[in-house]
Structures are given as C-alpha cells and as structure tokens.
Chain A
C-alpha cells in the first residue's frame, strides 16, 4: 500500500497540472495552431446534389482533381473519407447529374478523381468539393478557383473539424 502513495500523488499532480494548463488556455492554442480546420467557402454548396455516387471517373476525364483530407489539430490523415466533386465542364453544367461524382481518400488521406476539363462559368474557372459524410466531422463545402482556365488539374486540401 505504501507503493501506491507516490503513484497516486504523481497522478494527482499531473492531473492537477493538466487541468490548470487546460483552463488557462495554454493547451488549446497549441493544438489549434498545429492544423486549423478548413472553413466552408461562400457559394461552395451551390448546385450541390446530395449523395453523388462514387465513380472511377466523371465523364470522359482529362482533368485531375486532387487533394488531401486531414483532421484538425493533429493533422492526422483521414482514410476512407468520401469527397464529392462537381463543376461546369466541357461535358455539362454544374446542375447536371452527370457533372457530379465522389471518391474516397486512400490510407494517406489523399484523393484523386479524373473528370472533364473545368471551363469558366459564372465569371470564374472554379470547382466545387464537399465533405458531408458522417456525424464525426463537420460538413465543409469548398469552391476553389483555378489560377488559370487552361490548368488541367486542381489541388484542394481539407482539414476537418471533429464534431
């Protein structure tokens, strides 16, 4: 029983220190500074169609939408997360069902989906991406703009905020 004394004291000390540090707000900023969550963009959800099917490729392809999905705070890659993608392309308007598709992230949290070439619509060459899968992380809608309309790929990184 004498052995358990230092252990309990140690435990109380560490726990007490953690509570004080946490309450003083020293722990939280350190985590937030590491990897901040990606905020939803204005207009990101425009022409969104819930439940776009997981596809090998949207239409005839020729353009690559790539990116990563990570967890806010520690930045851990998130595997098997579904990302939905749609855009105005050479094969259809944003509202068309065949302009929509989804893909899953791999073990490294990376995703990569081939789709038709994105062309400027509503004044800007842009794509739409959504994460809206489960209750574990908050929904995020993105509307990234291509640096140039002639680009044949676009990289988009998600950092998801646990609910």
Chain B
C-alpha cells in the first residue's frame, strides 16, 4: 500500500499540472485583444489549433499510463479517441484558416509561405494524417514496426507543433504558450524514454521465437 499511494498521488499531480497548464493557456487566449478584430470562423480556427496543442499534452500521458485510472489498456483506448479528436481539431484549424484567407493556406500547404512557422505546422499536420492511416492498418503491422513508426510520427508531430505555435504572434499569450509547449515536449520525451525500457523487455521476450 505505501508503494502504490505515492504513484497514485503522482498521477493525480501530473493530471492537475496538465489540466492547469491547458486551462491557463486557453483562458489567456480567450482574453486576447486580437479576438475583437477577428470573425467567428477565424477565432474558431485559432482555438482548434490551441485545443490540438493541448491534446498533445494529454496524448503521451495516456500512452504512458501516467494519468489516474488510465493505465494500460484503458489509457490506450482513451489515447485512440483523443487521437481522433486531435485529427478533427487539425482539420478544423486548417479549414477555418482556409475560409479566412485561402491564398495564405494554399501557400502554406505548398511550402511557399512567407511565414517561417507554417512549414512546421504543415509537417505536423501530415504526420497526424500519417499517424491516423498507420493506426487504421495497425493490425496488419508487426507490433515493433507499429510502435517504432507511431513513436517517430509522435515526435515529429510534437516538435513540429511546438515550433509552429512558438513562432506565431497570435491569440496565445506568450508565457502560457511557452509553458504548455515545454510540458508537451517534456511529457512526450519522458514517456518515450519510459517506454524504451518496455521496448527492450519486449525485444528480449520476443527473441526465443
């Protein structure tokens, strides 16, 4: 019992910090003066992006079983549905921006945008799409292939999204944005490092086959 208690407490603390950082970032963005000069579609597109970034903090925590009552199978099940939500948020983000300014989005998608951050966002978007496709065909893949491909794409998504967000001068407030990005990067690479031991164990276990 004394061993389980701190672990559970740690998970509750991790959840509290994650939700706290997300709430602060969303509330700060909701108070941005820029919103007064944007129409609802543009505002919705921006917030879809912020929600997508927030989901990137939840995803590794679910994958690693780091949240309370979300270990192993249950955590992975929720991870899948949060992934679907992330995909929808990315689609809404791009669609809303497209309606607001079609030529700017076309430039970004064709990698000829003058803005240095859009290329990172577009790379992350394609990695999200690739991740979704990979998940659909997961059962046809060897387990280790799936894990390696999915982890690689996750790293691309997280790095791309954070650089994208940090270089934008938009509705997100700077301090809360930096904090959220640091937590997203930290959580992702901590969980990847944590699962590496598990990778090694499964590799050893699979050698006798």
Contact call A119/B37, Cβ cutoff below 8 A: yes
Query: Any chain B CB within 8 A of the CB of A94?
Result: yes
Q: How far is the CA of A123 from the CA of B120 in the complex (A)?
A: 13
Which A residues between 13 and 51 are near B, CB-CB below 8 angstroms?
41-47
- Chain B residues with Cβ under 8 A from A124's Cβ? 115, 169
Q: Give complex CA distance A123, B177 in Å.
A: 14
| Cβ of A95 under 8 Å from chain B | yes
Q: How many residues does chain B have at the interface if contact means C-beta atoms less than 8 Å apart?
A: 22
- Residue in A42, A95, A149 whose CB lies within 8 Å of B169: A149
- Residues in A with CB closer than 8 Å to B115 are 43, 122-124
Q: At the interface, yes or no: A93 with Cβ under 8 Å from chain B?
A: yes
Q: Would A93 and B100 count as touching, CB distance under 8 A?
A: yes
Bound-state Cα–Cα, A125 to B101, Å? 15
B114 with A43: CB separation less than 8 A: yes
Cβ–Cβ contact A42 & B107, under 8 A: yes
Query: A120–B113 Cα gap in the complex (Å)?
Result: 16
Cα-based distance from A83 to B101 in the complex (angstroms): 22
- Specify which of B97, B115, B117 lies most central, judged by the most chain A CB atoms within 10 Å of its CB: B115
Interface size on A, residues (CB 8 A): 23
Minimum CB–CB distance for B117 against chain A, Å: 6
Are A120 and B101 in contact (CB-based, < 8 A)? Answer: no
Distance in angstroms between the alpha carbons of A149 and B168 in the assembled complex = 12
B112 touches A119 (CB 8 A): no
Q: Is B170 engaged at the interface, CB distance under 8 Å to the other chain?
A: yes
CB closest chain-B residue, reference A119: B37
Interface residues of B (CB under 8 A from A): 34, 36-39, 42, 97, 100-101, 103-104, 107, 112-115, 117-118, 167-170
Can you pick out 22 interface pairs between chain A and chain B where the beta carbons lie within 8 Å of each other?
Answer: A42-B114, A43-B103, A43-B112, A45-B103, A46-B103, A46-B104, A47-B101, A47-B103, A89-B37, A91-B37, A93-B38, A93-B100, A93-B101, A121-B38, A122-B97, A122-B101, A122-B104, A123-B115, A123-B167, A123-B169, A124-B169, A149-B169
